[in-house]
Amino acid sequence: MKFLDQAKIYVRSGNGGAGSVSFRREKFIEYGGPDGGDGGRGGDVWVECVDGLNTLIDYRYQQHFKASTGIHGMGKNRAGANGEDVTLRVPIGTQILEEDNETLIADLTEVGQKVLLLKGGNGGFGNAHFKSSVNQAPRRANPGLEGQEKWIWLRLKLIADAGLVGLPNAGKSTFLAAVSAAKPKIADYPFTTLHPNLGIVQIDTRSFAIADIPGLIEGAHEGTGLGDRFLGHVERTRVLLHLVDGSGVEDPGEAYEVVRGELEAYGNGLSEKPEIVALSKCDALTDEMIAERSASLEVACGQKPLILSSASGLNVDRALRMILRAIDKDKQDEANQVPSKPEEGWHP
């Protein structure tokens, strides 16, 4: 299945059905009177968050969604049927934005969430609705109200507990493949990962989700390389694991600063998230090189980096436990920030 995390679509709710102008005409009924029924309501447009989806690829092949028009009213006081609704099914983590791609309409983060996007037009009244003692034979009926229409953006942001960031070829996909059942593409050239990957990690009877995104390079916030749009998939994470290639770069400290600069340029609180820094691919380094490059990285990041090798398994479990502790700490801090509701006194 191809991965698509952004789509622009057109939605339109249904028009209301028109009311009917009709009179009762039967043999031996001298004064039949008006019996025109009301029109049916137009269909609504809904967006529903469902399980089992992880991409917006369905909206690449169909971009227009229109609800049905309400059925017109008929004689014998028969009201028209309502138009059928249209329901857009999206994966967990989908945001709905206006056509400007900035104004947020809804953020669907749980299975079962349902949002009314556009309401269908009301059906028109038939002439039976307008009868009165002074107007016993009304010859008018209301047309149905028109539906609403708009262009919207759907943007998917994966929901994961931890995110992997770093330069291209820093070992992010190798780490994800080593700790989960995910099978990302792994090769010895930059930008092997072209779309985000999600894996479920199990450690010490606990499990959490981890997201791997394409590598960042200097100037990504200006569109260089694959850009920084994929950083949206780690916005919802609680902790970042920053991997710095120990064998492919001469100055790990400089490589660290490049990625941190891109996180700060992207904004949205990414640079403020808890961060675990690791020097990866250490199985290809000598002890002297590890000490030298670890010291350079420590000066840049202000913390002692973790010596890591996904290929040999060096400190992989330790990294996962560090991530798990950071996730638990963030959850605890979040719980402490929620103000408790004051108890309401009894009122007669």
Q: What angle do CA 25, 30, 35 make, to 5 degrees?
A: 40
Binding-site residue numbers for GTP are 166-173, 191-195, 212-215, 280-283, 309-311
Tokens at 20, concatenated: 């009917």
Q: Which residues contact 90 (CB under 8 A, 6 or more apart)?
A: 47, 48, 49, 50, 53, 56, 108, 154, 156
Cα-atom radius of gyration of the chain, to the nearest Å?
30
> How many C-beta atoms lie closer than 10 Å to residue 20's C-beta?
26
- Interacting residues of 102 by C-beta distance below 8 A, sequence separation 6+: none
Distances (CA, A) of 239 to 165, 222, 305: 11, 25, 15
Dig out the tokens for 257 from the structure. Answer: 């600063």
Q: Which residues of 59-80 are buried (b: 16+ CB within 10 A; e: fewer)?
A: beeeeebbbbbbbbbbbebbbb
Distance CA 26, CA 128 (A): 17
Spatial separation of the C-alpha atoms in residues 244 and 281, rounded to whole Å: 9
Half-sphere exposure of 6 (CA within 13 A, CB side): 11
Q: Nearest-CA neighbor of 91 among 150, 158, 27, 138?
A: 158
Q: Which of 114, 124, 105, 118 is CA-nearest to residue 147?
A: 118
Residues annotated in the binding site, as ranges?
Answer: 166-173, 191-195, 212-215, 280-283, 309-311
Span between the terminal Cα atoms of the chain, in Å: 61
List binding-site positions for Mg(2+).
173, 193
CB 93 within 8 A of CB 234: no
